[in-house]
Chains A and B, each alone.
Chain A
Amino acid sequence: MKPQPVELGDATSVNEVIERVLETRLREVRDLTTGLRSRNQQGLHDFRIACKRLRYALERFEALDPSLESAAQRLAELQDALGEAHDRDGLLAILPSAMATTERRLRAEREASVDRAVAIWDDVRAVMEAVNSHRV
């Protein structure tokens, strides 16, 4: 999934660059929350990649704006949960059919990871709203 382009042509300050990058990456994540709600493999994958881009942007700019740190930390936790679900999807796709007990356990763990991701996302959203209102 290609990242949305960031409009920076007329940006003249570091702050403007930070704001536009974060706005674009946050919009990208919001546009893909349907993937998190749907809980399907492709939707979760796209949402995870968009979260990664937002997290990297936050971590890059947090030295210039420490208010971004808490959002970056929550996003790291969100990514851990989404990563655990993704890894289980990868193994489930090649698991021999004779391993029914292992399969059941992996599916349960996957669903628990997605539940955790949904809960963390609600937190991240609130933290990001606070960051946005502070920056405006």
Chain B
Amino acid sequence: MKWLVKIIRNERRALERARRRFIRKPNEAHLHDVRTTGRRFRSLLEDVAALAPSERLLRRVKRAATATDAARDATIILQLLENSVEPSELPHAQPLLDELRKREKNATLRARKELRRMRFAP
């Protein structure tokens, strides 16, 4: 099925482009892109596994997702806490805000390091 080969090739290239953008500039938007394209590609590989088995590639895509989980979690929780904290409770939130900022920075650097070692397309 030619369309299937084409669709897999396109999504694979999209993930590789997103990975490279994140490596060049590891910010929140690029992290989001690499996670979204990775999830879409993973879902495609799982949907058509019976026609186009690609276990090794699928494992690599899952590893990429795992490598970015901590950075995404820290970013989302940090933004939510910043936006929802009751002003009178800010002193109680401050240690958690500091911790989340540190966690976000370190996790993003770790994700970049992990993703540098992976390639999804030539």
Q: Which residues of A contact B (CB under 8 A)?
A: 3, 5-9, 11, 14, 17, 21, 25, 52-53, 56-57, 59-60, 87-88, 90-91, 94-96, 98-102, 105-106, 109
Q: A98-B92, A102-B85 are in contact. Are A57 and B47 (CB under 8 A)?
A: yes
Contact A102 B89 (CB under 8 A): yes
Show 26 residue pairs from A and B whose CB-CB distance is below 8 angstroms, ordered by the A residue.
A5-B49, A6-B46, A6-B48, A6-B49, A8-B48, A11-B51, A14-B1, A17-B1, A21-B47, A52-B39, A53-B46, A56-B40, A57-B43, A57-B47, A59-B40, A87-B77, A91-B81, A96-B92, A96-B93, A96-B96, A98-B92, A99-B93, A100-B89, A102-B93, A106-B84, A109-B84
Cβ contact of A105, chosen from B46, B51, B76, B84, cutoff 8 A: B84
Which residues, 41 to 92 on B, are CB-close (under 8 Å) to A? 43-44, 46-51, 73, 76-77, 80-81, 84-86, 88-89, 92
The reply to whether the CB of B7 lies closer than 8 angstroms to some CB of chain A is yes
Min Cβ gap A126→B in Å is: 24
The reply to whether the CB of B4 lies closer than 8 angstroms to some CB of chain A is yes
Interface of A is mostly: helix
Min Cβ gap B32→A in Å is: 12
Contact A91 B80 (CB under 8 A): yes
Contact A99 B85 (CB under 8 A): yes
Min Cβ gap A44→B in Å is: 16
Q: Which residues of A contact B76 (CB under 8 A)?
A: 87, 90
Q: Which residues of A contact B1 (CB under 8 A)?
A: 14, 17
The 9 closest A-B pairs by CB, nearest first: A8-B50, A56-B43, A98-B92, A101-B86, A99-B89, A102-B86, A21-B47, A3-B46, A96-B92
Q: A14-B3, A99-B93 are in contact. Are A90 and B86 (CB under 8 A)?
A: no
Cβ contact of A94, chosen from B3, B77, B85, B89, cutoff 8 A: B77
Q: Which residues of A contact B48 (CB under 8 A)?
A: 6, 8, 17, 21
Q: Which residues of A contact B3 (CB under 8 A)?
A: 14
Cβ contact of A53, chosen from B43, B89, B96, cutoff 8 A: B43
What CA separation (Å) do A126 and B43 show in the bound complex? Answer: 24
